[in-house]
Structures are given as C-alpha cells and as structure tokens.
Amino acid sequence: MTHDSPYSMDLLINHITNLVTVRALGSRFKRGKEMTDIGLIRDGAVGIDNERIVFVGTSSDVDESRAKYVINGKGKTVTPGFVDSHTHLVFAGTREHEFSLRNAGASYAEIHRSGGGINNTVRATRSASKEELLRLSLHRLDTCLSFGTTTVEIKSGYGLTFEHEVKMLEVIQELRERHVLDVVSTCLGAHTIPFDYKDRRQDYIAMLLDQLIPYVAEHRLAEFVDVFCEEGAFSIDEGRSILQRAVDKGLGVKVHADQLTSLGGSRLAAEFGAVSADHLDHLSDEDIVAMKRSGTVAVVLPGVSLFLGLPMADARRLIEQGLPVAVATDANPGSCMSENIQLMMTVAGTMMHLTVEEIFTAVTLNAAAALRRSEILGSIEVGKQADLLIFDVPSYEMIPYHMGVNHLSCVIKRGRKVLDTMQEKFND
C-alpha cells in the first residue's frame, strides 16, 4: 500500500439493512441469555482492509470515498461467516441404501450389527486413494461454502488403522491448502473399534496411544483429538486414557458425548477442559454444572436427530442452565448426510426451540469458540478476520424462517469475494 493512497479500506459494504455483528466485546463465547444479543445494526456498514475488518458501525458514520470498492447493502442482511464445528466430511462411499432400510423400520444399531453402517464407510475409505478422497472432499467443501460455511472442522475416523487414519489426516491437511475455507483438523481414531480389531480391542487402543496420537502431534496433522464415548464405542476409562495422551502431546480435546446413553462423556470432557462436548442428548444436571465450570462449549447436532428420526437434544435446557451452545451439521454419510448449516439453523429453531438470535450466535461466535477460533472468527468486529456473508433478504429472521431456500448471494472470505451469485447488483 502506498502512503498517498486516498483509501483506507479495500472494501466497504454500506447501507446494510440488517447487519448482524454478534459482537463479543472480548468474550470467548456467549452463554445463557447472552446468546440473544446478536449486536444488530440497522443501516449498517462494514469496512474491510486486507483480510481484516477495520470499521463496523452505521452508514452515517462512514465516508464512502475512503473505500476502493463499495457494495450497496440496501435490502440485504450481512452476518459473520458460519462456522461448522463438527463434520466428518472426508470419506468415500455413500449409504443411500441404508436410508431406505431405516425409513422402512431398521434401526441404526441393527444396520450396524449386520455389518453395514460405519463399517461400509470404513471399507470404502480405506480402499480410496488420497486423490480420490481429496476430489470428493473438495466438492463437499464447495457445498459447505454455498450455504455460508466459511470455517469447517473435519474429523478423521473412517480409516481406523494407523496407516489409513494418517491418510485421512493428510487429506485434511491438503484441503487446508487447496480450499478457500479455513479447515480445522481433528483426529478421531477413537471413533469406533474397527471390525478387524473386534477381538483385539486393547491392541487398537494401544495403537492410538502409542502410535497414532504421538505421530499426529509430531507431524502436526491435527489440532484436536476426539473420542466417541458411548456403549459400543469407547468407555469413559478408555476415553480418559486417550484424552490424557492427547493432552500430554499438546493437542486440544473434544468428546462425542452422551448421544445415545448417559455414559458420562460430557463430564469427561469437562474434566479435561475440552473445547467442546458434542451431541449431548442425555445430560444430567451435574454434567451441565461440570461443563459450565470448565468453559466447554455444548455442540448440538439437530441434523442427526432429523436424519435418524430421533428425539432432539434439549438445547433449550442447556441455554437456560447457562451453557454456551453451538449448532453444527455433523455432516457424515451415516447419520446426517448434509453440509447445509442453514438447514440445521431452521431445525434448531423448530425442533430445539432456539430463538433466531440464539441460532445465529450458535453458528457463529459459539461455534468458533468450539474450535478455539473465537478470538479471530465468529463475529463482525474491528480486528477480526473478514469472513462475511451477504444474504439477499432485508431481515436476518428470513434466513432460518424461509426454510430450504438459500438466500446467500455473496461470501467474503479473508476480505476477498469467493462466491458471488448476484454480481451485477453490486456494481451499482
């Protein structure tokens, strides 16, 4: 940048009818009643320079001549880029035949027991080359972006051998470099005990503890380690040893907790100060108190309950008892085949009884906190990374309300337009 440039902003979005800032004012997340404060500004303006937000306020407070490029935000809603803090997007093979079986009455557990379910995905993912996984995953990230996700977490967990878990994590690393989205990597070697370790449970856990987790830490293949604590997956004691090894190696931790039964995964997450505990369909009051104390974000996944036809987690209760709640897709081929975060927003409203304001907080700031990213992402505030969405609707409430219809017209990622379906409208 030259000193005689008249500009101090690369881009200004001005006259925004609804600017949803979700301003955090320095806090890591919003909990309880705070979740309803989305920092709405009417006739708002956002200035961006380089990759950062440099101005947030009303149109009357900003000088358009200081911006190199101006977008007219009249009739539009601008929000922070959505953060999807829980996905399993790297996999090969889809399971549409199981969808039909389940709809006809077979349970998820029955399908799993008959050799289907996750084992099908594991087989297909092991057989796929890195190039094939990369191609499939890049396409899925494009779909995420088309619905407004600008940061996504991706877990391994369909390789389930040392070699194939590393392969998945290397694919996730490559996605970070190849795709415009911010990608956060999580090692979920502890997804389930794979079929070929059925009678060698201890051997599999030893592989995780002594080989995979140290290798992942040494080669920086993941930022977090996640454990599926559930009957039929990993016990609390097994989970504890896996999380302990992760923490010893300097990795952050997350837990798939209390989805099908109240096993105590959320309390285990709290014990380790995990960034998030996810699912949370069966929580006791003591679990909630423990999570509150540890500052663990409660991630609920309404798409799973929708897809499997199961009751929803009681997110209302989590908010009322003062937890920070985030909403994510859990995009995966078995229990939620969707990258569409906007769909989850609608279901979080209709089936989990979140208000529209709580929903926006849950997919922005709180979701960023579930990935240790809320210092730079998740709200529209000066100094934060310029990840913004422009919707072609004059009110933010339209977005989850007009369900199944995508009103997103522009995505700005790190200050750059990366998706723009209505270009001509921005040139006036």
Q: Is 84 in the site for Zn ion (CB under 5 A)?
A: no
Identify the residue whose tokens are 């309803």.
Answer: 36
Q: Determine how many CB atoms are found less than 10 A away from the CB of residue 149.
A: 28
At its nearest, how many Å lie between Zn ion and the CB of residue 342? 19
Question: Which amino acid is residue 254, in one-letter code?
Answer: K
The residue (of 264 and 333) whose beta carbon lies closer to Zn ion is 333
At its nearest, how many Å lie between Zn ion and the CB of residue 57? 39
Helix/strand/coil percent split, the chain, to 5: 40, 25, 40
At its nearest, how many Å lie between Zn ion and the CB of residue 80? 23
At its nearest, how many Å lie between Zn ion and the CB of residue 330? 5
The residue (of 287 and 330) whose beta carbon lies closer to Zn ion is 330
At its nearest, how many Å lie between Zn ion and the CB of residue 88? 6
Query: By the 8 A CB rule, do 203 and 172 touch?
Result: no
Say how far apart CA 319 and CA 83 lie, in whole Å: 19
The residue (of 149 and 409) whose beta carbon lies closer to Zn ion is 149
The residue (of 48 and 283) whose beta carbon lies closer to Zn ion is 283
Q: Determine how many CB atoms are found less than 10 A away from the CB of residue 217.
A: 18
At its nearest, how many Å lie between Zn ion and the CB of residue 398? 29
Question: Which amino acid is residue 374, in one-letter code?
Answer: S
Say how far apart CA 161 and CA 66 lie, in whole Å: 56
Question: Which amino acid is residue 199, in one-letter code?
Answer: D
| Chain Cα centroid distance, residue 42 | 28
Say how far apart CA 411 and CA 78 lie, in whole Å: 10
Say how far apart CA 383 and CA 25 lie, in whole Å: 12
* Residues 6+ positions from 216 with CB-CB distance below 8 Å: 166, 169, 187, 222, 225, 249, 251
At its nearest, how many Å lie between Zn ion and the CB of residue 115? 21
The residue (of 182 and 330) whose beta carbon lies closer to Zn ion is 330
The residue (of 199 and 231) whose beta carbon lies closer to Zn ion is 231
The residue (of 238 and 357) whose beta carbon lies closer to Zn ion is 238
Where do the H-state alpha helices sit in 208-274? 213-218, 236-248, 265-271
Say how far apart CA 366 and CA 378 lie, in whole Å: 7
The residue (of 330 and 387) whose beta carbon lies closer to Zn ion is 330
At its nearest, how many Å lie between Zn ion and the CB of residue 422? 34
Say how far apart CA 367 and CA 388 lie, in whole Å: 15
Strand partners, 336: 332
Measured from each CB, the residue nearest to Zn ion is: 330
The residue (of 175 and 233) whose beta carbon lies closer to Zn ion is 233
Binding residues among 286-345 for Zn ion as defined by CB under 5 A: 330
Site size toward Zn ion (CB under 5 A) is 1
DSSP H or E stretch at residue 388: strand 388-391
At its nearest, how many Å lie between Zn ion and the CB of residue 304? 8
Catalog residues that contact Zn ion under the rule CB under 5 A: 330
